[in-house]
Amino acid sequence: MMEILIAAAVGLLLSSFGTPLAIRLFSQRGYGQSIREEGPSGHHDKRGTPTMGGTVIVIAALLGFACAHLYSQTLPTVSAVLVLFLMTGLGAVGFLDDFIKIYKQRSLGLRSGAKALGQLVVGAVFAVLVTRFPNAYLITPAETRLSFLRDFGPSVGIIGFTIWVLIMIVGFSNAVNLTDGLDGLASGATGVVLGSYVLIGNWQLRNNCTTQLGPNCYWVRDPLDLAVVAAAVLGALVGFLWWNAPPAKIFMGDTGSLALGGVLAGLAITTRTQLLLIILAGMCVLITMSVIIQVGFFKMTGKRVFRMAPLQHHFELSGWAETTIVVRFWLIAGLCAAAGLGLFYVEWMPKS
């Protein structure tokens, strides 16, 4: 269990002290945020705030994970490496998007097609590799089946599974990206989900079929290392949130939001809790649905459901203070995570 604590502590320390260095460096180089003219007027004051802070989160998480394995003197597991690859790969796509925004001084970076292509390429590599590399018990990081609290139903085949994994990866990376609209909102909303996966990984380790065969045990390949990944990213995110909380001194940018969405999807797939992520990350799902509803309703009727989408901007234009929206949305995110963890635990409980 010490690996989980070390990963979180190192990620937290590196991010806490690395973020102000990044703020200074990015400010000197003029790596400031561009603001959409059609956005809420209050956001124009944020123009020029350093962005690409997600690079600190990714680097601190990777080093936190590495330090945990240096302590335990063990090699990283395949499941953990694949999730970290997904996080880093999507972070690289986001970094290109952020850099183009900064270089061309506009609110749009990569073209939507190029951005989607980058997400699909990284996701496809992950989807193919995650069904390989069986361990001594012939358990692979993921099966070609759907999962909720554990795998269920028949195999959907490698093609069907790849398509499903791509939907998850693109969907949740964009969901976190849409959530990242107010200072600290995405950091807090994803932080509670990462905390949930620390608990889920630890619970699956204690009730793993390879060590404790029973009716409710879990066939998960590397639960401890997946908890270490979640802890490392969570620690890095908390350190970053210290500087990203309202009023933000730095933004995570697409570098951070795509990376965080990727790590959430990766953890859900490798812990066999794919559909549970919809509940755990319910705040991000709700914000994404507000955009889908707004766009769909406008195309059908020419009218808007919300004053502005994503949902957090609707409340801004309704007169809510930014900090009020952020804290209340954090509370909703916490309730969603608690509901998901409750379902996970109740399903495991032995039936009398």
| Binding-site residue positions | 177, 254
User: What is each CA distance from 167 to 57, 172, 185, in whole angstroms?
Assistant: 24, 8, 23
| DSSP code at position 146 | E
Is the bond preceding residue 50 a cis peptide, omega within 30 degrees? no
Total Cβ atoms within 10 A of residue 103:
11
Distance CA 261, CA 174 (A): 7
DSSP string, 77-126: PHHHHHHHHHHHHHHHHHHHHHHHHHHHTSS--S-HHHHHHHHHHHHHHH
Tokens of 144: 């070609």
Distance CA 289, CA 282 (A): 10
**Binding positions for Mg(2+):** 177, 254
78: exposed, middle or buried (Cβ count in 10 Å: 0-12, 13-18, 19+): buried
146: exposed, middle or buried (Cβ count in 10 Å: 0-12, 13-18, 19+): middle
Q: Of 236, 165, 231, 220, which Cα lies nearest the Cα of 197?
A: 231
- Strands (E) located in the chain: 146-147, 151-152
Contact 54, 254 (CB under 8 A): yes
Tokens of 264: 């959430």
